[in-house]
Amino acid sequence: MGKIKVRVKINGKERSDEVEPRMLLAHYLRDVVGATGTHIGCDTSNCGACTVVMDGKAVKSCTVLVGQANGREIKTVEGLSQNGKLSKIQKAFLDKHGLQCGYCTSGMLMASYWLLKKNKKPTEEEIRRNLSGNLCRCTGYQNIVEAVKYASELIEKEGEEEEVVVESQ
């Protein structure tokens, strides 16, 4: 099958690549871009480990063909930290022990980042509903919910970070 050319902006940086049209965005990010923070935890679009933000909306990147990402902006977990400094949502997960093995964490972070972009003060119910597409086998979810609440407090107190361009993924 012939290759197609895709142009995408990933974590603020534009790039274009020739790829097979049947390639999934999750595989493109990991295998072509090298953004391996995006995890693949299932092949049934259930787990949410592959969650990234595309044009301002959280998507499961294993459900998106790379051609569908053409011309779009994508934020991956690599785009959260700022010059080596953890973002507020990352700091909150760390401080509130919102992770154990960490496999689900990049997806949890991106789904939470998206929630806090559209709703700065989510209720516990809204947090749980927002994360209902992300599975965690370790934490029992409570600390993840606490982490999102804490991130919301940090953002209220200190404001949001500016978006930065990530040179290397």
Q: Which residues bind ligand FES (CB under 6 A)?
A: 40-42, 45-50, 60, 62, 99-105, 136-139
Phi and psi at 9, nearest 5°, equal -110, 115
Shortest distance, position 27 Cβ to ligand FES, whole Å:
10
CB 42 within 8 A of CB 6: no
Residue closer to ligand FES (CB basis): 4 or 138: 138
Shortest distance, position 10 Cβ to ligand FES, whole Å:
18
Residue closer to ligand FES (CB basis): 82 or 141: 141
Residue closer to ligand FES (CB basis): 103 or 150: 103
Rounded Cα gap, residues 88 and 81, in angstroms: 9
Residue with tokens 């003060």: 121
- Which residues are registered as beta bridge partners of 161? none
Residue with tokens 């690599």: 78
Residue closer to ligand FES (CB basis): 10 or 104: 104
Shortest distance, position 85 Cβ to ligand FES, whole Å:
22
Phi and psi at 130, nearest 5°, equal -60, -35
Shortest distance, position 93 Cβ to ligand FES, whole Å:
10
